Amino acid sequence: MKKRILVLDDEEQIRILLNEALKDDYEVVLCDNGREAVKYITKERFDLLITDIKMPGTHGFEVIERIRERNKTIPIIICSAYKLLEDDIIVKTSGVSAFITKPIEIKELKTKVFELIGV
Amino acid sequence: MVKNKLSFLRYVLILTTILVMTYSKRGLNFGEPAYAIAIFYLIISIIISRLPDRILSKPWFSFLTFLFDIIIISSAIYLTEGVQTDFYLIYFLAILISSVSQTVNGSFFIALVASIIYAWLIRREYPDLSLLDSRFLIRIPFLFIISLVSSYWAESTRRELKKKEELERFNVELKKEVEKITAREVELRVYNERIINSVASGIMVVKGNGMITTVNPEAERVLGYKKEEILESNIKTLEGLKPLWQKMEYAISTGKPIIRDDIEILNKNGERIPIGFNITLLELPDKEISGCVLIFKDLSEIRRLEEVARQNERFSYLGKMASWVAHEIRNPLTSIDGFAQLLMNVGDKDKIKFYVEEIRKGTHRINRIIDDILTFARSKKLEFKKVDLKVLIDEIIKPLKVKIEFEGNRTFVQGEEESLRRLFVNLITNSIEAMDENGLIKIKFNRQDDYLVTRVIDNGKGIDEKDLKNIFSPFFTTKPRGTGLGLAIVKKIVDDHKGRVEIQSKPGQGTEVSVWLPAWKED
């Protein structure tokens, strides 16, 4: 059975890209807002969450916080356009496994995913 | 004064009496009754002259005094056997003096008493004397004539004196009053001057011909001229204040005050000073305008702070813009770069086509973002032409599947067509994105004075109240794919057209955006 990855990004093109990059090895589920992501995590089993931070509506860190309330162990990769200094602190305290800045090196992403959850 | 004179005259009378007694037929001899009378007369007279004023000034008292004089004189004549002598002349003197302080009636009565006593004395001395004797016929009527003439003369003199006194008193009071009023006026002038001098705004009063009549210290400070330099000189001759004089001249000639205006003047040193001012008119009681009062405030500091605020705003925009550009550009860049990476390992033609399409979408997106930034940031001079907004909006709507209703016939504005197209594309796109399949956009045109108001009304999901206040700020968005520049661009275009834009919205009910644009005058 394929490992399941939940991708959360408000940009459709990014979702499509991540899907294209990962769908051969994993089962990828796409969603465009935080509320839906929390719902998915609560209802279904996922092995990894890849999420953007800067999104209209619910901010990425808020989503992570809520997900952590429900699932303490799921690895999380943040994939964001830029990284602020304070982001590092939040990353450390909320148990985020990796922070990838856009544009994405697909190979690097795949390696990271493999390290975290295998195939 | 009168009293002193009267006392003096009475002493003259007494001394004359005693003198006449001394040289009378019998003369004054120590121990005789006449001598006693003379001493008695002298003593009583001294006592009388020492009495207080309020008693002496009473007419009845002086009347009694003179009656007393007449009786004493008569007794003296009797005792010194003076009837044969010229003693009777003393009566004239007594009556003359009494008339000084008596009315005509009083004097007449004294003359009557004197006449009776004198007549009695003569009769006693010469029992067979005829009434036609000169002693009766001439002396007694003379007594009356003297009494009447002198008392009449004295009374009129008294009246004159009284009048003069009253006049003097009136003059003194008038002088006091004038002094009081002058003092008050000076006080008032000083008080007013203090008020004018302590006002934190500049004050200048200018006559209709341009003559400066008042300046306060703040005006001196702002304009750089000393009071002595510009008071009584003409504002027209001060080059730097010319624009101000033009405003004053306008206010004076039209009779309309100017409230809350601002202008730039040059002070004495030639420095540009922005001032905010009011010009009010100085009206004479007959409504004629004699000049104007200028009250102004130096706006240099306010302008400086505004500039600082603008700079801060620019920096804050710059910060927001940096993070916005990073986010907005990096997303399409990520997809371009990502799909390019995927392309390298793909042989399938359909997949290649799909990836290339995605790459092109990314480049288009970046292009649109650059367009937005340029529209928002550039300040090019717009050339206004006649634009029919109904035609323009129709063209925007045509390719879109959306229901639209128009209302209003006058639809022409003065504007730059491309900017206006951009404005309504942004508004209509917003409306379409906010609506579901039952969406309906209403466009209402309405003339308001020199403006055409266009209302774009949708029945979409509306905007939260907390978001409304930031809705025109750049880089603010509530939409997943919004650049945050749409309404900021709308606002900029409207501002460039010297118009106005307002937005009203209720979540769940829809949004109404009203745009005021300068109407085409002939429409």
**Residue-range domains of chain A with CATH:** 4-117 (3.40.50.2300)
Provide the pLDDT confidence category of residue B46 given band limits of 50, 70 and 90.
confident
Predicted confidence (pLDDT) per residue in B272-313, tens digit:
999 999 999 998 888 788 899 999 999 999 999 998 998 888
Question: Are the C-beta atoms of B277 and B266 separated by less than 8 Å?
Answer: no
* Other beta carbons within 10 Å of B125: 15
Q: How far is CA B439 from CA B122, B404, B413, B506, in A?
A: 146, 9, 27, 15
Q: What is the 3-state secondary structure (H, E, C) of B335-347?
A: HHHHHHHHHCCCC
Question: Are the C-beta atoms of B446 and B453 separated by less than 8 Å?
Answer: yes
- CA–CA dist B100, B444 (Å, integer): 108
Tokens of B293: 């009062």
- CA–CA dist B502, B59 (Å, integer): 98
CB contact under 8 A, A56 and B478: yes
Residues of A in contact with B338 (CB under 8 A): 14, 17, 20-21, 103-104, 106
CB contact under 8 A, B334 and A17: yes
Q: What is the average pLDDT score of chain B?
A: 87
pLDDT top residue among A86 and B508: B508
Residues of B in contact with A14 (CB under 8 A): 331, 334-335, 338
DSSP codes joined into one string, B486-519: HHHHHHHHHHHTT-EEEEEEETTTEEEEEEEEEB
Q: What is the CA radius of gyration of chain A?
A: 13
Question: Are the C-beta atoms of A7 and A104 separated by less than 8 Å?
Answer: no
Candidate from A54-63, B212-221, B391-400, B477-486 with smallest mean pLDDT: B477-486
Provide the pLDDT confidence category of residue B362 given band limits of 50, 70 and 90.
very high
CB contact under 8 A, A13 and B335: yes
The per-residue pLDDT for B436 is 86
Q: What is the mean pLDDT of residues B452-462?
A: 93
Phi, psi for B18 (deg, rounded to 5): -65, -40
Q: What is the mean pLDDT of residues B422-448?
A: 91
Which is it for strands B258-266 and B272-283: parallel, antiparallel or unpaired?
antiparallel
Residues of B in contact with A57 (CB under 8 A): 480
- CA–CA dist B151, B145 (Å, integer): 10
> What residue in A sits closest to B363 (Cα-Cα)?
A13
Residue listed under structure tokens 């290649």: B352
The per-residue pLDDT for B382 is 78
Residues of A in contact with B461 (CB under 8 A): none
Question: Are the C-beta atoms of B112 and B120 separated by less than 8 Å?
Answer: no
pLDDT top residue among B12 and B235: B235
CB-closest option in B336, B342, B482 to A21: B342
pLDDT at B511 over 80: yes
Q: Which of B79-88, B105-114, B264-273 has the highest mean pLDDT?
A: B264-273
CA atoms within 13 A on the CB side of B358: 28
pLDDT at B166 over 70: yes
The per-residue pLDDT for B134 is 73
Q: What is the average pLDDT score of chain A?
A: 89
CB contact under 8 A, B331 and A14: yes
pLDDT at B467 over 80: yes
- CA–CA dist B133, B137 (Å, integer): 6
The per-residue pLDDT for B391 is 93
Q: Is the whole-model pTM more than 0.80? A: no
Tokens of A14: 């990014």
Question: Are the C-beta atoms of A7 and A28 separated by less than 8 Å?
Answer: yes
Long-range contact list for B396-401, CB < 8 A, 24+ apart? B396/B421, B396/B424, B396/B425, B396/B428, B397/B428, B397/B441, B400/B428, B400/B432
pLDDT at B167 over 80: yes
The per-residue pLDDT for A101 is 87
The per-residue pLDDT for B258 is 93
The per-residue pLDDT for A41 is 93
Per DSSP, chain B holds a count of helices (H) and strands (E) of: 17, 12
Phi, psi for B494 (deg, rounded to 5): -60, -45
Q: Which residues pair with B519 in a beta bridge?
A: B413
Predicted confidence (pLDDT) per residue in A40-94, tens digit:
999 999 999 999 988 877 788 889 989 998 888 999 999 988 777 777 777 777 8
Residues of A in contact with B478 (CB under 8 A): 56
- CA–CA dist A20, A26 (Å, integer): 10
Decide: residue B338, CB within 10 A, 0-12 exposed, 13-18 middle, 19+ buried.
buried
Predicted confidence (pLDDT) per residue in B116-165, tens digit:
888 888 777 777 777 777 767 777 888 788 888 888 887 888 889 899 99
Burial A97-113 (b: 16+ CB within 10 A, else e): bbebebbbebeebeebb
CB-closest option in A11, A33, A107 to B331: A11
> What residue in B sits closest to A10 (Cα-Cα)?
B480
B216: closest CA of chain A, how far (Å): 57
ipTM for the predicted complex: 0.89
Cis, peptide link before residue B480, omega less than 30° from 0: no
A55 touches chain B (CB under 8 A): yes
Q: What is the mean pLDDT of residues B497-520?
A: 93
CB-closest option in B327, B333, B338 to A106: B338
Sheet containing strand B202-207, strands side by side = B212-215, B202-207, B289-298, B272-283, B258-266
CB contact under 8 A, B326 and A81: yes
Q: What is the mean pLDDT of residues B228-247?
A: 92
CB-closest option in B327, B339, B477 to A82: B327
Residues of B in contact with A16 (CB under 8 A): 335, 358
Tokens of B42: 């002298």
> What residue in B sits closest to A59 (Cα-Cα)?
B480
The per-residue pLDDT for A43 is 94
The per-residue pLDDT for B285 is 82
Predicted confidence (pLDDT) per residue in B61-88, tens digit:
888 888 888 888 888 878 877 666 677 7
Question: Are the C-beta atoms of B518 and B497 separated by less than 8 Å?
Answer: yes
A111: closest CA of chain B, how far (Å): 15
Handedness of CA B310, B316, B321, B322 (dihedral sign): positive
Per DSSP, chain A holds a count of helices (H) and strands (E) of: 5, 5
CB-closest option in A10, A81, A104 to B480: A10
Q: Which helix (H) or strand (E) holds A41?
A: helix A34-43
B382 SS3 class = coil
Cβ-Cβ pairs closer than 8 A, A with B, add up to 69
The per-residue pLDDT for B390 is 93
- CA–CA dist B111, B106 (Å, integer): 9
B320: closest CA of chain A, how far (Å): 13
Q: What is the mean pLDDT of residues B42-52?
A: 85
A118 touches chain B (CB under 8 A): no
CB-closest option in B323, B341, B478 to A106: B341
pLDDT at B481 over 70: no
> What residue in B sits closest to A15 (Cα-Cα)?
B335
The per-residue pLDDT for B218 is 94
Provide the pLDDT confidence category of residue B252 given band limits of 50, 70 and 90.
very high
The per-residue pLDDT for B136 is 72
A27 SS3 class = strand
Contacts for B115 with CB less than 8 Å, ≥ 6 apart: B140, B143, B144
